[in-house]
Structure 1
Amino acid sequence: MHPDPFSISPISEHIWQYKYRLKSADGAPVDRTLDDTWRRVARTAASVEKGGKKARERWEQRYHEAMASFEFLPAGRIIAGAGSGRQVTLFNCFVMGRIEDDLASIFDNVKEAALTMQQGGGIGHDFSTLRPKGALVKSIGADASGPVSFMDVWDAMCRTIMSAGARRGAMMGTLRCDHPDIEEFVAAKSDPTRLRNFNLSVLVTDGFIRAVREDRPWDLVFDGRVYRTVRARDLWEKIMRATYEYAEPGVIFIDRINDENNLAYCEQIHATNPCGEQPLPPYGACLLGSINLARLINRPFEPGADLDVGRLEERVRIAVRLLDAIIDASNYPLEAQRKEAMAKRRIGLGITGLADALIFVGARYGSPRALSLAETWMAHVQRAAYLASAELAAEKGAFPLYDADKFLARPGVARLGTEVRQSIATHGIRNGCLTSIAPTGTISLLAGNVSSGVEPVFDFRYKRRVLERDGTHREIMVEDYAYALFRARFGEDVPLPDSFVTTAELPPSAHLEMQAALQRHVDSSISKTINCPPSISFEEFQNVYLDAYDLGLKGCTTFRPNPVTGAVLSSRTMSEQEASKQAASKSSVARAAQRQLVTRPSDDGVVYMSKPLEREPVLAGYTYKLKWPGSDHAIYITINDIEHDGRRRP
């Protein structure tokens, strides 16, 4: 029997109070209890169901039951915004439209990006369509400033939107590996003050990987013209060196993404959302939700502990229907986004609590047994999701751009089981893409601090100091969900079994192998950070990315503590031992922050004098190490942001 998260994890209630509990404009609570929050989301999803009041009430009850059990967790945008009456989107993931190579299109795209972030969406942009620095602009007889300079415009816009009090903004910027300005793009974040609101990723092609391995020359091309030719290995080393030194850019294997895309017959992908789990076409949008595996384990810690597969499949069916309903219920910042969402009806159903689920069944993260279990569980999710979508198509119709022959011929669909393919052939399918694994940082805290997404547990126990509404502080003990249940059952003195393993104890290969095992049953992508120790050599580090390519991943993101981004520092109430662990690796929240929804320092934030700012239980930020030439000393500066009631302030 799994406990109420609020009873074992005070931070869960704090997260609900400050992130998800609906309040009126004057701060008065609208949701009296967490159950009211779940009911509000369930009612919103059920409102689009046909069949009259009784049908809507029936689906509302089923949606509510799935969420109130914490076995299905919609993404935070849905929990916070559904049924709120506010002009916000319920979608987490967007990729913006193509940026044409002219000033009018550039600033039209800046405007569209601002409108999307204003409603709470994270966005991705591909800047490969902009001519390189120094290229002639014939209409004005001047040289172009290049895509990286225009990214500064987006960065300033995002900073302004945030300082004006909008919800947290995040952007992904991509550039092709053969763009003439690729080296400037790769080096952009060596300046710790530049592009702070962007995550950066290089679009790496299969041809480039071959050129690197064969030590061939590599042409840098724009609009059919070769601007320069470089040694492929030299460019690869620059990308790797930048990532080794300051954690960006990441790498997206763009050819594999398009080759494996269910919808390649009607779209081309050039970018992802900020967390990387959703590769999307121009104006693409996707919803997120997660099955909480930790809550679906029968008899935790016992010899016969196992996953309740029947219950898992039932929850997946409900989750697919709810997410599909939210497509119809949501606001859209742009009409083009609404049309794209309706035409393909993408959803991103994933999992969270994987590491805790493995602990419950006695499998050590990274072991062969853990890899086998994780892949089997994800295969069950995939099968149930596709069957549920086919059933929905029989009831409500397939997505408008569905083409039976072309869809069934796609590689990922071709690998599905016979029963699933027959169901799709008979009924069609409601959703063009169905599975994706998000970082789930905050919703995992809400659910009792289950392990985040598919990451290992960062640490099992620590304290956080949080600010109350009356200005006082208190300490909250934060315990991993599996750890809390183990201690409640067996006491404080019993040694932890071998299945209790933390991120710092795992080599990069354990992360890669787990991501690869899951990717085989995920049609979109996976948000996962490959944590590397500070001592890893540059040669070993480069191999992580080549291994990721060979294992079939769609992208790779690493984190190695470094002087530019620093390591994430612990709260002051943590012990020295816990603080040193944080210095060696990223916390679950910071892992999400580093490459995903990252808070960044603001140069022109607004200062409010009338009321003290309120801190959330979890703050993301950066620590910078600054040194001057000729001096043996350095200073360390940490900058965090606060987000409360939809307002964000440094």
Structure 2
Amino acid sequence: MPSTARPPRDTGDTPFVADISRHIWRTKYRFGFASDGEAGIRESWARVAEALAAMEAPDQRTAWAARFREALEGFRFLPGGRILAGAGTGHRVTLFNCFVMGRIEDSMDGIFDALKEGALTMQQGGGVGFDFSTLRPRGTMTRHTRTIASGPVSFMDIWDATCSTILSTGARRGAMMATLRCDHPDIEEFVEAKREPGRLTRFNVSVQVTDAFMEAVRDDAAWPLVFPAEALEPEAGSEELLERDWPGYEGPVPCRVMRWVGARELWGRIMRATYDTAEPGVLFVDRVNHWNNLWYREHITASNPCGEEPLPPYGACNLGSVNLAAFVGKPFSEQAELDLDGIRDMVPVAVRMLDNVVDASRFPLEAQAETERANRRLGLGITGLADALIMLGLRYDGEAGRRKAAEVMRVITHAAYHASVDLAREKGPCAVLERERYLQSPFVQSLPEDIRTGITEYGIRNSHLTSIAPTGTISLLANNVSGGLEPAYAFHFRRHVLELDGTTTEYPVEDYAHDLWRRERGEDAPLPEAFVTATELDPQAHLAMQAALQPQVDSSISKTINIPADFPFGAFEDLYQRAYDLGLKGCTTYRPTPERGAVLELEDSVLAPHCCSPEREPD
């Protein structure tokens, strides 16, 4: 007989099963406090639905509010955390999760203007990404003051301190991303910067890796470290000039060779630092730009803090996720199935909600408002993938599991593009659309003919529509479904949650699918083979799932590949080469060491991915 020790999953007055889920809602998403606040999450859903429906024509608002509210019910659609927390509150906050900031001008005024813009953005709840490649390398002479430049990494320390101060004042977000070109003269310092304990703790860091660099690594060739010649004094570096595309310039510019290094040696330093410290990640920047739907007007060199949204200067993440675990019928049985028709029907509602966020949101900076209102970029993705596969009886590391994941992501992407074409017909296309050039982008060319025909005839409302975010906090809110496309990290663990006063509270947490299995089959029922966790999987299985989904995603994917502590360094290096060969846009790994802290604590002391620390909750 099944055990009856566990309470029912939904008592009727609340959809919460776990105490941590209720805590997450109360501390992060509830509007108001105590007796004057929202009584339950259904009131929060109603607030969000009505706020976004207010962007519709007056005679349609009631109907759309009801449809938006239906999509939110049962955690079927999970808008980004900033939307849940801010929509309909009247607070001066942004509804966008993250931003990439503008070019950092290489002057004291420019540097501190960029710092101010980043601080204002973080203050309103947005994570930020920066490309520091525009800053002169350490040791070079400044033109006007004849002082010695201290280099980009030194200024990253100032950003880090500013972010820490903002977080300490009660702002929720503290996440930043820093990128640097693989041919910047300070790349080695950048790669090694986070080896120093306590340094740059508010940053994720990633190297912009070009196709030319990967070719040089393969060929064991010499690699030039360069900087735009016009920004350097004549005596800096060598007389040799090479043309390079450089952030802030239109087209290739003459760059002075500062020195040469071995490409394979530099790659080895990147890999060794990542193996030891979990950073830097790599951003395959040429591939990002090749696949960018707005290739004809954007040059991307940075991403949001978790990497799923490579963005142009002042670009923004407008995120939401379809909870696949909520669409599994008859779980754990031979008749278990994923309701693809239900997902296909809900996606247009989700797209419309996110499109309305563009008009409903405040923006920390006018440049951000102009950029987002022109491209109306969305990032619709998935969460609960691993739990859905478990409930369907499919292993995460199996070919059938990857095929199912790719199938559902294809359904979501195609439904999203159809919805955006319909919105363009109804409300008008995005301002940056140049139809012929947009249709030349490789991703758009991969879409079905009827979508491309629709774009030709009506345009498209949103330049981009899909990405896969970590969904760390909103997945906890949804009764701890597995986050994003990640495998279940563990079936039982302890989670440290950041409180409003900066302290942390520890909660026991159980995976959604595991909890459901125990409720239906009893506490002592053996787990089926499909119950696998992140640390049980071969790292190649993580990579294979990311590669299975990337062709169905027009932006990118946040994925942490869990690496055993004793994983050989040579095999680790091969993972990154394999990621490049598979066509991925980036790669992030995590190998536990005794020195690193963790958000998720297991009995065997396995540590959690670095992107999930309390101060870096991504949504």
TM-score computed with the length of structure 2 as normaliser: 0.91
What amino acid maps onto 1:599 in structure 2? E
Q: Give 2:18's match in structure 1, choosing from 9, 16, 19.
A: 9
Match of 2:603 in 1: 579
Deviation string for 1:528-580 (max 9, x for gaps)? 1000000001111101110110111100000001254355562xxxxxxx421
Deviation string for 1:256-306 (max 9, x for gaps)? 000000011111101000010010001111210000000011211111211
Match of 2:231 in 1: none
Match of 2:235 in 1: none
Deviation string for 1:15-45 (max 9, x for gaps)? 1111111115xx6542122111000000110
> Aligned partners of 1:441 and 1:520: how far apart in 2?
23
What amino acid maps onto 2:93 in structure 1? V
Match of 1:43 in 2: 50
Q: Could you tell which deviates more after superposition, 199-208 or 137-146?
A: 137-146
C-alpha distance 564-474 of structure 1, shift in aligned 2 (>3 A)? closer
Preserved CA contact (<8 Å) 1:21 1:29: no
C-alpha distance 159-238 of structure 1, shift in aligned 2 (>3 A)? same
Match of 1:624 in 2: none
> Aligned partners of 1:221 and 1:195: how far apart in 2?
25
Match of 1:595 in 2: 611
Preserved CA contact (<8 Å) 2:22 2:477: yes
Match of 2:246 in 1: none
Q: Give 2:566's match in structure 1, choosing from 515, 527, 535.
A: 535
Match of 1:163 in 2: 168
Fraction of identical pairs, as percent? 55
Deviation string for 1:389-436 (max 9, x for gaps)? 000000000000111101111000000011211222221100001000
Preserved CA contact (<8 Å) 2:472 2:612: no
Q: How far is the alpha carbon of 1:512 from its aligned partner? A: 0.2
Preserved CA contact (<8 Å) 1:81 1:89: yes
Q: Give 1:66's match in structure 2, choosing from 50, 59, 71.
A: 71
Q: How far is the alpha carbon of 1:192 from its aligned partner? A: 1.2
Match of 1:423 in 2: 454
What amino acid maps onto 1:167 in structure 2? R
SS in structure 2 opposite 1:233?
helix
> Aligned partners of 1:80 and 1:463: how far apart in 2?
25
C-alpha distance 435-475 of structure 1, shift in aligned 2 (>3 A)? closer
C-alpha distance 181-63 of structure 1, shift in aligned 2 (>3 A)? same
Preserved CA contact (<8 Å) 1:275 1:597: no
C-alpha distance 198-325 of structure 1, shift in aligned 2 (>3 A)? same
Q: Could you tell which deviates more after superposition, 428-437 or 459-468?
A: 459-468
What amino acid maps onto 2:555 in structure 1? S
C-alpha distance 338-474 of structure 1, shift in aligned 2 (>3 A)? closer
Q: Give 2:90's match in structure 1, choosing from 77, 85, 88.
A: 85
Match of 2:195 in 1: 190
SS in structure 2 opposite 1:226?
strand
Match of 1:20 in 2: 29
Match of 1:57 in 2: 62
Q: How far is the alpha carbon of 1:360 from its aligned partner? A: 1.0
Q: How far is the alpha carbon of 1:85 from its aligned partner? A: 1.1
Query: Does 1:368 find its partner at 2:395?
Result: no
User: Pairwise mapping of residues 70-149 of structure 1 onto structure 2 (< 5 A)?
Assistant: 70-149=75-154
SS in structure 2 opposite 1:142?
coil
Preserved CA contact (<8 Å) 1:285 1:337: yes
Q: How far is the alpha carbon of 1:2 from its aligned partner? A: 8.2
> Aligned partners of 2:44 and 2:189: how far apart in 1?
46
Match of 2:414 in 1: 383
> Aligned partners of 1:273 and 1:467: how far apart in 2?
21
Query: Does 1:353 find its partner at 2:384?
Result: yes
C-alpha distance 408-508 of structure 1, shift in aligned 2 (>3 A)? same
Query: Does 1:445 find its partner at 2:476?
Result: yes
Q: How far is the alpha carbon of 1:171 from its aligned partner? A: 0.6
C-alpha distance 468-206 of structure 1, shift in aligned 2 (>3 A)? closer
Preserved CA contact (<8 Å) 2:496 2:614: no
Query: Does 1:324 find its partner at 2:336?
Result: no
C-alpha distance 466-132 of structure 1, shift in aligned 2 (>3 A)? closer
Deviation string for 1:491-549 (max 9, x for gaps)? 11211100000111101100000001111100001111000000001111101110110
> Aligned partners of 2:367 and 2:556: how far apart in 1?
23
Query: Does 1:559 find its partner at 2:582?
Result: no
C-alpha distance 467-535 of structure 1, shift in aligned 2 (>3 A)? closer
User: Pairwise mapping of residues 195-206 of structure 1 onto structure 2 (< 5 A)?
Assistant: 195-206=200-211
C-alpha distance 448-569 of structure 1, shift in aligned 2 (>3 A)? closer
Preserved CA contact (<8 Å) 1:394 1:428: yes
Preserved CA contact (<8 Å) 2:9 2:15: no
C-alpha distance 465-188 of structure 1, shift in aligned 2 (>3 A)? closer
Preserved CA contact (<8 Å) 2:29 2:85: yes
Query: Does 1:455 find its partner at 2:486?
Result: yes
Q: How far is the alpha carbon of 1:8 from its aligned partner? A: 2.8
Preserved CA contact (<8 Å) 1:2 1:295: no
Preserved CA contact (<8 Å) 2:597 2:607: no
